[in-house]
Chain A
């Protein structure tokens, strides 16, 4: 570990020396005025990481019930364990932001999937998903979480058309993307926040024993 830290420090010091003032400007996001910017917000140094946590946040696209349903669902898909989960990472707010900028078809597809969850919930438990008891939510999600096949009794184990699993995967995909691209998600994966970790070492095993 010490060797790595040393290497990292030397890379950063070397880079800073090579760039000098240019680097310090980049870090402060300073930008000259005048001509319309032809930089992306990121290239201008804009940091949007705190936007979603702003007090008084309101959804741009989802209604209140949809938003609350998404919060409940995301908390089931990626719960807080010994580390924070999707609810703490505000995945509903990020998904709402992205959906607000999406095409009507994509927006509709998302609402269809969310609506399917409530539809199944009403059919089986006579209540919207977010009001169900936790064990009923689990019963419902387990029925959707895995692909369906034939039973095998008559030799048929082929996949069976299952819209429920498709809707589940669509919602889960959005939640996974939102969570693991958040700062909390990066921490969940163990990222220490540094951008350089020394040279790539590759396989360090003796010849023929690289496992």
Chain B
């Protein structure tokens, strides 16, 4: 039974695969088996457990403890000061993520144990964690609502499909999630970016305010403070941010939202949730007579023993590609091409926001004077989409649009020229810098897909993915425009030495993977219905980013959580009506 026992963590000392009760957790039939403990899995476990359902929550990695947080450790205490060869050796893919560092690389998957393949010339970077809380431990925390224009994008420009749900369907659940998570931000009444339930916004720097004023005056576009899942005041038992900076290394005050210390903790505290850590789920088990799932099979990450967890319903929240991988690996005679795949759409319409364009420059209007003892704001500014909106004319080169993240402030000038005492002085005098980076919509395309690579298995013998994705002409046109517009807006703000970039980075770089088990009203064209329930298997649900029909251009985690809460509300209702 080793491997299902969790180490202690704040408020969760008595949990683990082995509960203290006499009942064997593996002989229990749970109401709901939730696979994945990240942003969406945490919510699914919390909602179901607090509603009185018996929940098994399965996480492929180990538990995580606040003892291992390193946000206050200076780089000089690291042996290699963040240039560790161990990261390079074991995480050649993961280290492409800015958040994978010598501090915390053990939170990220070991690439040697977790392979995937891509076609020649079509790289895809798949950056992920296997530890309780998943990527919610290191996420960028930017939290934006999607608008009705996003849910109904196809109706606006004729490309692709509308979602089976609209903004009004999700809005109440955005409220629930925001009120619990704590999102700091400012209301802007923007047609593409609905306002939410905000905690007080973080402040903007002088340069950012100048950009905001001049961009509004010259272009009519909105520059706002980032909407971040970082507390600006005490909230739901968590302390406000202490502005130390590197959230991705953990937070001793739990000021940024991560599931282990919020949703998962609540689920456990309800007394209705049993946590299985180190449970690498290989497939969903089917009862072919009833055409219903009866639970999942997992491989114990440490002992390699194969075990089953029984449930009346299964909710996959394993991350978009992982959830679909589980379904593809769950083929039966009835579903030879992957479970719940009578449509053939499973694995298709993979999306990831296109990045690689933006601009940066200096703002000589402002005194630089960087200060190492300044509070470090874990947030930036945001410019919501202004292309192809209801109030702007259609762009001739592309459909949809992009938003920018960015920021401005005094920085030490580590690129000062020369050498000697003058160099030392120039570094400290600094520069006042400002920059913008775009996130563009990734169109849902049938030919961006994942499938099982029959020749490749992970360290637990589970068939691995072949990921086939490229960004297309529309994404390239978005980035071209985003580079030029970024430079133009910085110029309006008074920036000098402007540098523009308009690359298309490889897919995966935005770490916003979406789609592959899309929702839809038509079972012939989609995998899930409007409540994230598989069309084909009535007690099977996928409640993570896999369900997305289109990607919009906003960071998707907030929407994923709201959609999960909506789907769980429906599922709980079905349990009450005895429909599961």
Contact = CB atoms under 8 A, between A and B. Distances in A.
B68 A202 contact: no
A40 interface: yes
A48 B67 contact: no
A191 B79 contact: no
Contacts of A77: 419-420, 423
B78 A199 contact: no
Interface residues of A, number: 68
Contacts of B202: 200, 202
A141 B104 CA distance: 39
Nearest to B110: A38
Given A40-B104, A200-B377, A201-B203, A210 B420 contact: no
Contacts of A131: none
Contacts of A49: 74, 76-77
A150 B401 CA distance: 43
A183 B423 contact: no
Nearest to B234: A14
Contacts of B106: 38-40, 43
Q: Give the secondary structure class of B's interface.
A: loop
B243 A200 contact: yes
Interface stretch (B324-332, B364-372, B448-456, B499-507): B364-372
Contacts of A180: 412, 414, 427
A40 B376 contact: no
B363 to A, nearest CB: 10
B292 interface: no
A172 B71 CA distance: 29
Contact of B239 (A18, A101, A189, A194): A18
Interface string A71-94: 000001111010101000000001
Given A14-B253, A81-B421, A183-B74, A199 B243 contact: yes
B95 interface: no
B182 to A, nearest CB: 15
Given A11-B242, A11-B253, A183-B74, A81 B424 contact: yes
Contact of B73 (A42, A200, A201, A203): A42
Contacts of A15: 239, 242, 252-253
Interface string B410-433: 001010011111011001100000
A182 B77 CA distance: 9
A186 interface: yes
Contacts of B241: 199
Interface string B51-72: 0000000000010011111111
Interface of B: 7, 10, 62, 65-85, 102-106, 202-206, 208-210, 213, 232, 239-244, 252-254, 302, 365-367, 370-377, 412, 414, 417-421, 423-424, 427-428
A59 to B, nearest CB: 16
A11 B241 CA distance: 9
Contact of A40 (B76, B103, B205, B420): B103
B206 A211 contact: yes
A208 B65 CA distance: 46
Nearest to A191: B372
B372 A190 contact: yes
A141 B367 contact: no
A146 B420 CA distance: 13
Interface stretch (A22-30, A108-116, A122-130, A155-163): A22-30
18 contacts: A14-B239, A15-B242, A18-B252, A19-B10, A19-B252, A39-B106, A42-B77, A42-B103, A47-B77, A48-B77, A78-B424, A146-B417, A181-B82, A190-B373, A197-B375, A199-B243, A203-B205, A210-B366
The list of the 4 closest CB pairs from A to B, nearest first, reads A202-B203, A101-B85, A210-B206, A43-B68
A40 B80 CA distance: 12
Nearest to A47: B77
A51 B254 contact: no
A135 to B, nearest CB: 13
A133 to B, nearest CB: 16
B69 A26 contact: yes
A188 interface: yes
A141 B423 CA distance: 13
Residue in B7, B372, B423 whose Cβ sees the most chain A Cβ within 10 Å: B372
B239 A38 contact: no
Contact of B419 (A35, A76, A186, A210): A76
Contacts of A41: 78-79
